[in-house]
């Protein structure tokens, strides 16, 4: 019952970072634990099927438990695996994918070992919320787990220290210029978030998400640019919504370049503030190269359809000069980036088409210009594919579908539906693009069986 003190052994961990134990046959979830820990815990919340507890004491620590290098990791919602060894984390993520396919997809397929690179300073993008501290001064940080309470910090091991330096300078300068941080309860104030990206050359793009366009934001931008000359562009995104959606619909540049240019797999890419771009460039290259290696067809000059194409990164990295490439994306700014990226990388209108629209329209758009696709690449958001998209892809009778997913659960669900349409998969490969967090990317090749054609 609630407030009970219990002793349990942690036998598993969820992707959200909660250790799993049992008390009198009932599942208990406890944060900041590791598989093998024997703990005493206090029950904080009780439901009919499970309980949530808080660690009071670690009686016997797990062999994979380590001391966290981050002083606020127990409070911040950014990392959930900073207290276990990275080797153990990689095995956990492989197991997340295995369990998802078995439990949700009802499939027994081979899951390869998790591929990885470095576990620190890998992020090229950060998204800090602004808020008001106890003294009503402007603060920034990451949200505590399952809340909108900001946990302040001076550095983050997952990213370049320049991001916290810029955010700190912005907080102090905004205070001096009387630009208030946004307050969620009263829906008053200006600064909501700061979103920053850094390319491999060290150049940085900054975007302020604001509730209202304050007249002194241009002064703030000039002072930031003077202090940090590596900043090449500063943008304003206006968001007057009163929910937790970060970006509003209107974005405009107030200083410098409208886009940030980066390189990936030897290709050049322009990225606007709202466009999707992988936050871990080194691992993204590994993932894209693997996805490319899965495509096997003797046809020269394939037709490749890239759904949820973002700024065109996946399709442009995978398609050869002889291939025809059609990309579909719902965000208009990203589509414009993709068109420019195609030109930057030597592609022409004769062999490349990027369309702004829903993914379900992708097959028809591709057929209009290039004919039936030979390969379809899908890289949807965490919610996975709408059933309408799966049905459209399956009815196109495309022989190969490369599915790139950031959520093993929705990937397994969707693969199960593809199987009903006559597609099979033999293996899945996880890629750790987000070390020390519960997120993992996975790549699967789905192939249409001869009997289904």
The residue with tokens 């402007």 is: 138
Identify the pLDDT of residue 453.
46
345 Cβ contact list (under 8 Å, min separation 6):
267, 268, 316
Q: Read off the pLDDT of residues 349-404 as tens digits, 9 standing for 90 and up.
A: 999 999 999 999 999 999 999 999 999 999 999 999 999 999 999 999 999 999 99
C-alpha 377/C-alpha 87 separation (Å) is: 30
Distances (CA, A) of 336 to 83, 275, 329, 356: 42, 10, 10, 9
C-alpha 128/C-alpha 227 separation (Å) is: 19
C-alpha 127/C-alpha 193 separation (Å) is: 7
* Residues of the chain where predicted confidence (pLDDT) is lower than 70: 450-453
C-alpha 238/C-alpha 234 separation (Å) is: 13
C-alpha 374/C-alpha 333 separation (Å) is: 27
Identify the pLDDT of residue 450.
64
Pairing label, strands 142-143, 150-151: antiparallel
C-alpha 352/C-alpha 267 separation (Å) is: 15
Say whether 416 sits in a helix, a strand or coil: helix
Residues 50, 56: contact at Cβ < 8 Å?
Answer: no
C-alpha 130/C-alpha 166 separation (Å) is: 13
Residues 52, 61: contact at Cβ < 8 Å?
Answer: no
Residues 159, 168: contact at Cβ < 8 Å?
Answer: no
Which stretches of 257-386 are DSSP H helices? 281-294, 313-318, 332-344, 362-369
Identify the pLDDT of residue 76.
87
406 labelled catalytic = yes
C-alpha 128/C-alpha 196 separation (Å) is: 9
Angle at 71 between CA 183 and CA 175, to 5 degrees: 30
Q: Read off the pLDDT of residues 18-29 as tens digits, 9 standing for 90 and up.
A: 999 999 999 999
Q: Read off the pLDDT of residues 108-140 as tens digits, 9 standing for 90 and up.
A: 899 999 999 999 999 999 999 999 988 889 999
34 Cβ contact list (under 8 Å, min separation 6):
10, 13, 19, 61, 62, 64, 65, 83, 84, 88
Distances (CA, A) of 419 to 86, 186, 394: 34, 50, 10
- Closest residue by Cα to residue 116 from 439, 409, 427, 378: 439
Q: Which of 79, 156, 366, 406 is catalytic?
A: 406
C-alpha 273/C-alpha 54 separation (Å) is: 39
C-alpha 94/C-alpha 82 separation (Å) is: 17
Identify the pLDDT of residue 451.
52
Identify the pLDDT of residue 442.
98
C-alpha 22/C-alpha 8 separation (Å) is: 6
The residue with tokens 């095995």 is: 91
C-alpha 430/C-alpha 45 separation (Å) is: 33
């Amino acid at each position: 019952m609630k407030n009970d003190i219990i002793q349990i052994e942690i036998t598993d961990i969820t992707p959200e970072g909660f250790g799993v134990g049992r008390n009198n046959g009932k599942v208990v979830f406890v944060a900041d634990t590791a598989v093998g820990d024997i703990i005493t815990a206090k029950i904080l919340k009780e439901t009919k099927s499970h309980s949530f507890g808080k660690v009071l004491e670690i009686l016997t620590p797990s062999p994979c438990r380590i001391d966290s290098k981050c002083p606020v990791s127990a409070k911040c919602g950014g990392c959930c695996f900073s207290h276990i060894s990275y080797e153990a984390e990689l095995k956990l993520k492989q197991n997340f994918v295995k369990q998802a396919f078995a439990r949700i997809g009802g499939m027994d397929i081979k899951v390869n070992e998790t591929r990885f690179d470095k576990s620190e300073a890998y992020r090229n993008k950060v998204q800090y919320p602004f808020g008001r501290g106890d003294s009503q001064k402007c603060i920034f940080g990451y949200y505590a787990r399952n809340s909108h309470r900001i946990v302040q910090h001076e550095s983050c091991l997952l990213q370049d220290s320049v991001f916290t330096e810029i955010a700190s300078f912005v907080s102090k300068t905004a205070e001096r210029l009387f630009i208030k941080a946004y307050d969620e309860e009263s829906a008053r104030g200006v600064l909501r978030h700061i979103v920053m990206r850094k390319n491999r050359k060290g150049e940085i793009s900054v975007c302020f998400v604001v509730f209202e366009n304050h007249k002194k934001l241009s002064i703030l931008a000039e002072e930031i640019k003077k202090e940090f000359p590596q900043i090449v562009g500063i943008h304003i995104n206006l968001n007057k919504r009163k929910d937790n959606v970060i970006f509003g619909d209107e974005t405009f540049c107030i200083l410098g370049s409208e886009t940030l240019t980066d390189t990936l797999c030897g290709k050049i890419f322009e990225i606007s503030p709202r466009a999707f771009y992988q936050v871990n460039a080194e691992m993204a290259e590994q993932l894209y190269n693997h996805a490319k290696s899965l495509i096997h067809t003797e046809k020269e000059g394939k037709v490749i359809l890239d759904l949820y194409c973002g700024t065109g990164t996946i399709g442009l990295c995978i398609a050869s000069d002889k291939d025809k490439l059609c990309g579909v994306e719902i965000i208009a700014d990203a589509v414009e980036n993709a068109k420019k990226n195609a030109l930057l990388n030597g592609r022409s209108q004769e062999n490349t088409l990027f369309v702004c629209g829903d993914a379900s329209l992708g097959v028809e758009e591709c057929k209009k210009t290039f004919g039936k696709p030979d390969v379809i690449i899908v890289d949807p958001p965490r919610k996975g594919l709408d059933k309408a998209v799966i049905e459209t892809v399956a009815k196109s009778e495309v022989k190969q579908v490369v599915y790139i997913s950031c959520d093993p659960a929705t990937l397994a669900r969707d693969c199960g539906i593809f199987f009903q349409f006559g597609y099979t998969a033999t293996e899945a490969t996880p890629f750790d693009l987000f070390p020390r967090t519960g997120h993992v990317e996975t790549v699967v090749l789905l192939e249409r069986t001869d009997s289904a054609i």
